[in-house]
Structure 1
C-alpha cells in the first residue's frame, strides 16, 4: 500500500512550527517574519499541489525499471532496509550536490534557498518542479532490485528527517555532528557567505560531505538566502525567475557550445562576452538589509485569515485528490496558487494586487456551483460561500480606505 507520509506529517510540521515560534517569541529572538513565513509556506503548498500531477509520472520510471530491468531482488528484511537507507541517502547527496552545481537543476532547487530567514517554515519552502528530475538520481536502486514501495518509504523518511534541522534554536550537538546532518551543518548549507556556498549537501548522514570534500563547519555568523536576493513574495516568480535569467543569458550567448553551457555550467558562469564567471562577494553585515517592503498593516489580519483558509483548501485537495477528476483537481489547484500569488502581491503593495484579489474571490464563489454535485461536501465543510461573501465585504472595505 502506497502511503504519503509527507502529507500525513503536515499537522506535525505545523505543531513544531508553533512550538518554535512560541520559543523564539519567549526568548525574544527575531527568527520569524510573517511575510517571509507566508512566502515559505506558500511554496510548500504549491509544491505539494504540483507534486500530485508529477508523482505518477516520476514513480512510473522507477517502477518500470524495477519490473523489467532489475538484476537482483532484495528480500523484505531488516538488512535490506538498512542497505536501502544508505543507498537513498548516498544518491540524495549526489542529487543535492549537482542541484547546486548545474544551472538547469539549480533553477528548480534555488527556491528552497531564497528565504533570508532560517526557521522551520523554510523546511517547507520547496521547489514546485524539482521532483520532476530528482527521481532520476535514484534509478540505480531500481536496477539494483529495491522494491518501489520500500524505496518510496525510505526516501519519504529521508525527507522528513530534514525538517527539524531547519532551526536556529538548536546549537552544537556534540559527537552527533560527526555522523548526522544537524541544524548546525544545515545552517551552513543555507548560507550565502562565500565560504559556506555549496557545502554540506547531506540528507541524513554528514559522512558523505566529509568523504567527498564538501564539508564545512559552522563558524562565523551565517547570512541566509541566495547571493542575488529574490526580493519578492510572489511564489510563481520565485519558481521561474532563475529560468528567465538563464534564457536571457542564452539569448546573448554566441554559438551552440556557449548556449548549451548556460544550462550545464554552474551558477555564476557567464560567457566571456558577458564578463565571464562571477564570484560571490563577501557580505558586509553592517550594511546588509533583508527584503521587507513596507505595506499597509491594515491588510495583515486579512492576509493571515485568507492564507489559513487557502491552506485548508489545499489540505482538502491533498487528501481527496484520488477521488477528484483532473478538471476538479487542476482548477482548484490553480485557484489556490492564484490566492498565494495574491497574498504575495498584497504584501508587496503591487498595483495589480487588489484586482487579482477581487478576481480570486469571484472565482472561489462560482467554483462550488460548477462542481456542486461532487465537491459540495468539501465546501459545505469549510463554509465556502459564507466565507467568500464575508471576505469580499472585508476586502472591499480595506481597499476603499
Structure 2
C-alpha cells in the first residue's frame, strides 16, 4: 500500500512534468529567449539517471537504518491523522533546509551539490539536475524523523512529494506569486538561489517552505535587474569544458589538489576539505561571504553611504566580476 502511494505519485507527476516543460519550451521560443539548450538538457537527464540509480541501489540500506530507528522510536503515534502528516511535512522540510545549507557551506558536500548549480540557464529540467552522490548521505539528516516515530515509507513519500514542488520552482516563466511568497518557496525565490551574483550566493535554501530561510537569516528577495543586476545562473566561475566526467568530479579533483599542496599544516588541509567553498589558507580566494562583503564595500564607496557591516572590516576593496 505504501509503495503503491509512491508509485502513484510518480505516475501522476510524470505527465505533468512533460506538459509544463512543453509549455515552457513554447513560451521561451515565442519570447525569443534561449532558456533551453540541447546539451544542457541532456546533461540534466544524465545526472538525474545517475542520482536515481545510486538512490535505488542504496535505498535498501538507508530505509533499513530508518526502520531500525523507527522500531526504537522515542514516540509512538496513536493514529496517523492530519496532525501526523503536517508535523512530518514540517520536520522533513526543516531537516532538508539544513541538508541543503550544509551542502552549500561545507566544501566536502558542495563537491557533490555543485553539479546541480552548474547549469548556466534556468528551466524546469534544471530541477532534475541532481547532486549525484547525495543519496549516500542524505538519509542521515532524516534519522531524527524515524526516532520521532514517523514511518520510513512516509518519510520517503514526503521527501518525494516536496521534491516535486522543488522541481516546479526552476523556471523564469513565473513571476512573483503574491502572498505565497511569504510562506512557500516560489520560482522567484529559487531564481535567487541559482544566481551567482554576490548578493544571491547561499540564499533561499528551502525546498517547500521559505520560512526557514527567514528564520535563520538566509533569505534574499529577488531584486529587479534595474535596481541591482540581472541574475547570472551557474557558478561564480563556470566550467570551461564541461563533460560527463568533469561536471561530476571537477570539485573533488580541485579539493584533492588543494589539500595535497606542500607546506600546509594539518588544519589548513582540513580547511580545504571542510571549510566553506572558496576558502584558502593564504586568502587568495574568496568565499561567498567575502564576495558579499566586497560588494557591500564597493557599493558604499560608489554611493558615499558608510557601510557599518562588521563583516567588511579588514577587506580590501576589489571589483567583483561574477562570471
TM-score interval, smaller chain: 0.7 to 0.9
Partner SS for 1:163: helix
Whether 2:195 is the aligned partner of 1:191: answer yes
- Displacement of 1:131: 1.3
Per-residue CA deviation, residues 2-51 of structure 1 (Å, 9 max, x unaligned), is 23567543443233211210121122222112222222222112222222
Alignment partner, residue 272 of structure 2: 262
Alignment partner, residue 138 of structure 1: 142
Distance 1:191 1:283 in 2: 14
Instruction: With the length of structure 1 as denominator, give the TM-score of the two structures.
Output: 0.67
Q: Which runs of 5+ in 1 are unaligned?
A: 289-401
Distance 1:37 1:244 in 2: 25
Q: Which runs of 5+ in 2 are unaligned?
A: 292-318
Greater mean deviation of Cα atoms: 242-251 or 142-151: 142-151
Whether 2:261 is the aligned partner of 1:223: answer no
Distance 2:153 2:32 in 1: 44
Greater mean deviation of Cα atoms: 232-241 or 171-180: 232-241
Match of 2:101 among 92, 97, 104: 97
Per-residue CA deviation, residues 267-289 of structure 1 (Å, 9 max, x unaligned), is 001112x73655446346xxx6x
Alignment partner, residue 310 of structure 2: none
Contact map agreement 1:249 1:262 (CA 8 A) in 2: yes
Alignment partner, residue 246 of structure 2: 237
In the TM superposition, 1:28-107 aligns within 5 A as 28-67=32-71, 69-74=72-77, 75-107=79-111
- Displacement of 1:256: 2.1
- The structure with the greater share of residues assigned to helix is 1
Distance 1:201 1:15 in 2: 27
Distance 1:113 1:163 in 2: 13
Contact map agreement 2:54 2:135 (CA 8 A) in 1: no
Distance 1:124 1:205 in 2: 19
Alignment partner, residue 315 of structure 2: none
Please tell me the root mean square deviation across aligned C-alpha atoms, in Å: 1.9
Partner SS for 1:205: coil
Distance 1:22 1:164 in 2: 16
